[in-house]
């Protein structure tokens, strides 16, 4: 095996990451946030829906900047248990 397939835990972590980003997006459109972050809307949609569970580092950084979030907060929130409260901005 050369590259280990993503584990179920990693998929769940990706789902939490997507939920955090979607929560922070609020009522803005995917296209707007994606354009602000410099990624395609499809990519943002895949990340939000958890279908891209381990996006690139700078992709998350750009999205965090576009959403006004801290990457540390995103990382800890996605890695740890699901949040009861959104990362209030």
Partner DNA sequence: TCTTATACCGGTATTAGTATCACGGTCATG
Partner DNA sequence: CATGACCGTGATACTAATACCGGTATAAGA
**Residues forming the site for a second copy (CB under 8 A):** 10, 13, 17, 54-61, 70-72, 75, 78-79
Least distance in Å: CB of 61 to a second copy?
4
Least distance in Å: CB of 60 to a second copy?
4
Site map 57..76 versus DNA, x via CB under 7 A:
--x-----------------
Secondary structure of residue 68 in the 3-state scheme = coil
Burial of 34 (0-12, 13-18, 19+ CB in 10 A): buried
* Choices 52-60, 65-73, 80-88; region in contact with DNA by CB under 7 A: 52-60
CA atoms 30, 16, 46, 68: torsion sign: positive
* 24 torsion bin: left (phi>0), alpha (psi -120 to 50), beta (else): alpha
Positions that interact with DNA (CB under 7 A): 1-6, 14, 29-31, 39-43, 45-49, 51-56, 59
């Amino acid at each position: 095996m050369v590259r280990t397939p993503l584990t179920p835990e990693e998929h769940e972590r990706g789902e939490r990451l997507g939920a955090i980003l979607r929560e922070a997006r609020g009522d803005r459109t995917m296209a707007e946030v994606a354009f602000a972050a410099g990624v395609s809307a499809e990519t943002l949609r895949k990340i939000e829906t958890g279908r891209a569970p381990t996006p690139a580092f700078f992709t998350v950084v750009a999205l965090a900047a576009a959403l006004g979030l801290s990457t540390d907060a995103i990382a800890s929130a996605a890695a740890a248990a699901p949040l009861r409260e959104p990362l209030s901005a």
